[in-house]
Amino acid sequence: MNMGDVAAFMDLGTNSVRMNVIRVNPNRTITVLNKLKQMVRLGEGAFKEKFLQPEPMSRTVAACVRFATVARAHGARTIHAVATSAARDAENGSLLVRRLRKEAGIDMRIISGQEEARLIFMGVVSGVDLGNRRALLLDIGGGSTELSVGTAAGYEYLDSLKLGAVRVTNLIQGD
């Protein structure tokens, strides 16, 4: 990204979709222009059936259309978008990707659990001074839990477990 550029970053999880719209400043800092979050419950029924269900998928697409409109209104030329556990574990995750491209103009990428853990690590380390310490980061999401270990110099270990709040609740309740 060049100075003055505006971009959006979208994270589509099992429970919610989040987006930050940012501008790169001349001094190489960023300004957050907008932050959005909406509970879409994409993973509703997905772990039992192994398919994203029609109603949650439609809610998700509608939210992403709204978010993309906001990003473009701020001047975002690019929307970097990733989908995590519910989309990656569903047999019809590619249908969601196609709908988002067609209906919202978003090129959503379904990422692996390892890539999710790496991105979480990089995001946290960019905002926290670890000094010489080694850190264990644990991110519990709706469909998975990501683990990463590392120092300010980089990660040493990345993993993703199929243990998320929605997934475990569905197993317990038999949904």
**What is the Cα–Cα distance from 147 to 118, expressed in whole angstroms?**
9
Distance of CA 139 to the CA centre of its chain: 12
User: What is the pLDDT, as a whole number, of residue 152?
Assistant: 93
User: What is the pLDDT, as a whole number, of residue 150?
Assistant: 96
User: What is the pLDDT, as a whole number, of residue 175?
Assistant: 56
Task: Report the candidate in 139, 76, 146 with the shortest Cα–Cα distance to residue 105.
Answer: 76
Q: Which of 45-49, 121-125, 135-139, 161-165 has the lowest mean pLDDT?
A: 45-49
**Mean pLDDT for all residues in the chain:** 94
Fill in the amino acid letter for 169.
Answer: T
**Nearby residues of 168 by Cβ (< 8 Å), 6 or more positions away:** none
Q: Is the pLDDT of residue 48 over 80?
A: yes
Q: What is the pLDDT of residues 129-162, one digit of tens each?
A: 999 999 999 999 999 999 999 999 999 999 999 9
**What kind and span of H or E run contains 114?**
helix 113-127
Most confident of 27-36, 39-48, 96-105: 96-105
Q: Are 56 and 62 in contact (CB under 8 A)?
A: no
**What is the Cα–Cα distance from 30 to 127, expressed in whole angstroms?**
12
User: What is the pLDDT, as a whole number, of residue 160?
Assistant: 97
- What is the model's pTM? 0.90
* pLDDT band for position 1 (cuts 50, 70, 90): low
Q: What is the pLDDT of residues 50-102, one digit of tens each?
A: 999 999 999 999 999 999 999 999 999 999 999 999 999 999 999 999 999 99
Average pLDDT over every residue of 111-138:
95
